[in-house]
């Protein structure tokens, strides 16, 4: 066992820290707390920040050199994510493009597709959203019905996608569409569609936070050029699943950095408002303990990546851990702060440290998106514990 970062990784981390010190002028939470901030202004801020990271060579680091890569691995990528979380930098805007579509194009796309789509994806010029979930197909994604029928040089799409994160701001969408009604998995294809194509309608959905980060996308006889098919017809499910597997990395490390910062703010708030009795200390202390265990999980994933090992069971458990913890954390924060924790940021009484009310509401999303907690537990039961399956 050795949990020290190697000299090479330490050097990378230090260089990144220095860059962040020089380039990050204001922590993200201050932008979020700014009463003048709007959803649009925050999106533009994130776009500008992403562009800065891109120009400094920090995006797509683990991809081939011609696409922004610099011989980095998932270890550097994980360190990068942990460090930007620690520095409280704005989250990367085009996370769905870079996190999911980028790897899909690199592994399954054509040379033309890579050349056309990767640079503007990394720079933030073109924002991507993900067209997977449908009104009737959430957890059972493979039952999706949005149809794509080949008509000459074009696919013609009809159907509806929903819970489309960044839909209202995106320029493009990558869609899982049904090209064969009879083949559940083999009848799904992976198609790129420009959102200003005639027949596409994007509608904002208002979330419980009041924001509209996600939306729904309707396709009515939408024509997408055949060259926008990624891989072959019928390969969509396989591509989506392999791409989701790239979405690993030591996210627990990044999350524990973020939660550690918010926990310090919460502890300071408790001292300030006089919540220092035993019961309050124990609530706070349990959160500290659970966050530290999350950090240990992250360190383990990172060490396994650095050691060239396939992630073990701790990797499939990561999402379940942080998303369930997030809910407990934000609930407890409101317990400790009292009704003042519910104040919206425009209130002059709201705390200036963290937007506790928004975080409290946001925490409800994490156990639903990207595979709900129930789906995660099904996967663990089946793939890790090999439990007998119902007939």
Q: Which residues bind other proteins (CB under 8 A)?
A: 1-6, 9, 75, 263-264, 267, 281-282, 284-286, 288-290, 292-297, 299-300, 302-304, 306-307, 309, 312-314, 317, 320-321, 374, 376-378, 380-381, 384-385, 387-391
Structural tokens at position 155: 């696919």
- Minimum distance from residue 279 beta carbon to other proteins (Å): 11
* Residue 1 or 22 having the CB closest to other proteins: 1
* Residue 120 or 260 having the CB closest to other proteins: 260
Helix H, strand E, coil C: the string for 312-339 is: CHHHHHHHHHHHHHHHHHHHHHHHHHHH
**CA atoms in the 13 A half-sphere facing the CB of 256:** 21
* Residue 150 or 384 having the CB closest to other proteins: 384
Check if the beta carbon of residue 190 is closer than 8 Å to that of residue 227: no
* Residue 209 or 332 having the CB closest to other proteins: 332
> What pairs with residue 192 in β-bridges?
174
Structural tokens at position 341: 């924790």
- Minimum distance from residue 320 beta carbon to other proteins (Å): 6
Q: Cα(156)–Cα(200) distance, rounded to whole angstroms?
A: 11
Angle of CA points 238, 239, 241, to nearest 5°: 65
Residue 76 annotated as catalytic: no
- Minimum distance from residue 256 beta carbon to other proteins (Å): 11
CA neighbor of 362 nearest in space, from 91, 81, 41: 91
- Minimum distance from residue 372 beta carbon to other proteins (Å): 11
- Minimum distance from residue 344 beta carbon to other proteins (Å): 27
- Minimum distance from residue 69 beta carbon to other proteins (Å): 21
Task: Give the max Cα distance, the chain.
Answer: 72
Q: Cα(286)–Cα(193) distance, rounded to whole angstroms?
A: 47
Q: Cα(147)–Cα(140) distance, rounded to whole angstroms?
A: 17
119: CB partners within 8 A, 6+ apart: 68
Sign of CA dihedral 282, 283, 287, 293: positive
Sign of CA dihedral 146, 149, 150, 155: negative
User: Which residue in the list 125, 247, 324, 331 is annotated as catalytic?
Assistant: 247
- Minimum distance from residue 141 beta carbon to other proteins (Å): 18
Q: Cα(255)–Cα(273) distance, rounded to whole angstroms?
A: 27
Q: Cα(268)–Cα(383) distance, rounded to whole angstroms?
A: 43
* Residue 54 or 325 having the CB closest to other proteins: 325
Beta strands in 137-178 (DSSP E): 147-151, 154-165, 172-178
Q: How many residues does the chain have?
A: 391
In terms of DSSP H, where are the helices of 203-250? 236-246
* Residue 47 or 300 having the CB closest to other proteins: 300
* Residue 200 or 299 having the CB closest to other proteins: 299
Query: Which residue numbers are catalytic?
Result: 247
């Amino acid at each position: 066992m050795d949990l020290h970062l190697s000299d090479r990784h330490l050097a990378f981390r230090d260089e990144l820290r220095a860059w962040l010190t020089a380039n990050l002028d204001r922590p993200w939470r201050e932008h979020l707390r700014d009463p003048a901030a709007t959803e649009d202004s925050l999106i533009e801020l994130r776009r500008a920040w992403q562009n800065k990271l891109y120009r400094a060579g920090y995006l797509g680091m683990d991809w081939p050199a011609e696409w922004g890569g610099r011989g980095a691995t998932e270890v550097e990528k994980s360190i990068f994510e942990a460090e930007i979380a620690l520095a409280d930098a704005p989250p990367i805007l085009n996370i769905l493009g870079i996190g999911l579509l980028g790897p899909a194009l690199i592994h399954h796309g054509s040379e033309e597709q890579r050349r056309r789509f990767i640079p503007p994806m990394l720079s933030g010029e073109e924002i991507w959203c993900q067209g997977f979930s449908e009104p009737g197909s959430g957890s059972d994604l493979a039952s999706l019905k949005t149809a794509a029928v080949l008509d000459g040089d074009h696919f013609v799409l009809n159907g509806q996608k929903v819970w489309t994160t960044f839909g209202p701001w995106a320029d493009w969408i990558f869609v899982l569409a049904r090209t064969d009604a009879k083949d559940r998995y083999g009848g799904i294809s992976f198609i790129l569609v420009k959102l200003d194509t005639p027949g596409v309608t994007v509608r904002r959905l208002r979330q419980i936070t009041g924001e509209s980060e996600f939306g729904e996308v309707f396709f009515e006889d939408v024509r997408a050029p055949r060259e926008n098919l990624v891989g072959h017809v019928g390969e969509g499910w396989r591509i989506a699943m392999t791409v989701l597997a790239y979405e690993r990395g030591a996210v627990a490390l990044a999350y524990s950095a973020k939660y550690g910062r918010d926990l310090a703010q919460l502890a300071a708030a408790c001292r300030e408002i006089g919540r220092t009795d035993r019961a309050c200390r124990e609530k706070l202390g349990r959160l500290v303990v659970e966050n530290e265990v999350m950090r240990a999980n992250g360190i383990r994933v990172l060490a396994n990546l650095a050691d060239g090992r396939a992630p073990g069971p701790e990797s499939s458990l990561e999402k379940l851990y942080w998303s369930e913890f997030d809910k407990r954390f934000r609930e407890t924060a409101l317990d400790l702060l009292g009704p003042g924790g519910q104040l919206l940021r425009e209130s002059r009484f709201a705390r200036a440290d963290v937007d506790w009310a928004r975080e409290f509401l946001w925490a409800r999303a994490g156990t639903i998106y990207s595979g709900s907690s129930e789906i995660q537990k099904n996967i663990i039961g089946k793939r890790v514990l090999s439990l007998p399956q119902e007939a």
